[in-house]
């Protein structure tokens, strides 16, 4: 068995790869909470959830379509965040092991919409809806190449968000 996207041997049971793992339709990336992530009370500072989500999105794209530099070189597009909505439900604390789960809920001509959940165990701490825009080398809106759409396809499922 190999780790998704990179051909390396899979980690032992219970371990994960650095970039996370794909479990269709979700990509999962573990994050440990360190002192630098917390406020004076030992609770994760709200803006750091955006950093966790950014890293997880980057690793999700890397695991499915390749790294952003290669996508820009080969296809002439890059993805940039256009909009983020965050619903903070419960705090994470120092030393918590979190799972940042990411899935694509829609792909249009030039946009990708994702749902991301920062979880501790089975509890959703933060739910984010992120809209990415495809940009060309001049940073103008661009269509997402068919090949990239196909590579992202396995993580593309309609959103089913449980009620609050």
Residue 16 lies in a domain: no
Instruction: Give the number of other Cβ atoms within 10 Å of residue 26's Cβ.
Output: 19
Residue 163 lies in a domain: no
User: Position of tokens 């997402």?
Assistant: 144
Residue 2 lies in a domain: no
Structure confidence by residue, pLDDT tens digits, 134-157: 999 999 999 999 999 888 877 776
Q: The domain containing residue 96 runs over which residues?
A: 21-155
pLDDT of residue 58: 92
- Per residue, the 3-state secondary structure of 104-132, as one string, reads EEEECCCEEEEEEEEEECCEEEEEEEEEE
User: What is the rounded distance in angstroms from the CA atom of residue 45 to the CA atom of residue 87?
Assistant: 14
Q: How far is CA 75 from each of CA 82, 104, 149, 155, rounded to the nearest angstrom?
A: 20, 20, 12, 20
Residue 59 lies in a domain: yes
Torsion of CA 18, 22, 28, 31, to 10 degrees: 0
Residue 77 lies in a domain: yes
**Residue 39 annotated among the catalytic residues of the structure:** yes
Query: Of the residues 13, 37, 39, 106, which is catalytic?
Result: 39
From first to last of its 164 residues, the chain has per-residue pLDDT tens of: 334 443 433 333 333 445 778 777 899 999 999 999 999 999 999 999 999 999 999 999 888 888 889 999 999 999 999 999 999 999 999 999 999 999 999 999 999 999 999 999 999 999 999 999 999 999 999 999 999 988 887 777 654 444 54
Residue 146 lies in a domain: yes
Kindly report the CATH number assigned to the domain that includes residue 43. Answer: 3.10.129.10
Torsion of CA 51, 124, 63, 76, to 10 degrees: -50
What's the domain count of the chain?
1
Q: Which residues lie below 8 Å from residue 54, measured CB to CB, with a gap of 6+?
A: 81
User: What is the rounded distance in angstroms from the CA atom of residue 125 to the CA atom of residue 98?
Assistant: 9
The strand ranges marked E within 1-154 are 21-23, 26-32, 78-88, 97-107, 111-120, 123-135
Residue 14 lies in a domain: no
Three-state secondary-structure class, residue 85? strand
User: What is the rounded distance in angstroms from the CA atom of residue 105 to the CA atom of residue 9?
Assistant: 30
pTM, full prediction: 0.81
Residue 122 lies in a domain: yes
């Amino acid at each position: 068995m190999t780790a998704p996207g990179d051909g390396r041997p899979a980690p032992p049971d219970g371990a994960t790869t650095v970039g996370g793992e794909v479990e269709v339709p979700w990509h999962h990336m573990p994050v440990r909470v360190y002192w630098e992530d917390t406020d004076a009370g030992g609770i994760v500072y709200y803006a750091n959830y955006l950093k966790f989500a950014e890293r997880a999105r980057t690793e999700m794209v890397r695991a499915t379509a390749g790294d952003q530099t290669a996508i820009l070189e080969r296809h002439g597009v890059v993805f940039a965040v256009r909009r983020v909505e965050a619903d903070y439900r419960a705090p994470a604390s120092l030393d918590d092991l979190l799972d940042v789960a990411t899935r694509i809920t829609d792909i249009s001509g030039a946009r990708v919409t994702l749902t991301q959940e920062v979880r501790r165990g089975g509890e959703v701490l933060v739910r984010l809806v992120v809209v990415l825009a495809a940009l060309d080398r001049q940073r103008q809106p661009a269509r997402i190449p068919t090949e990239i759409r196909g590579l992202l396809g396995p993580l593309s499922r309609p959103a089913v968000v449980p009620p609050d």
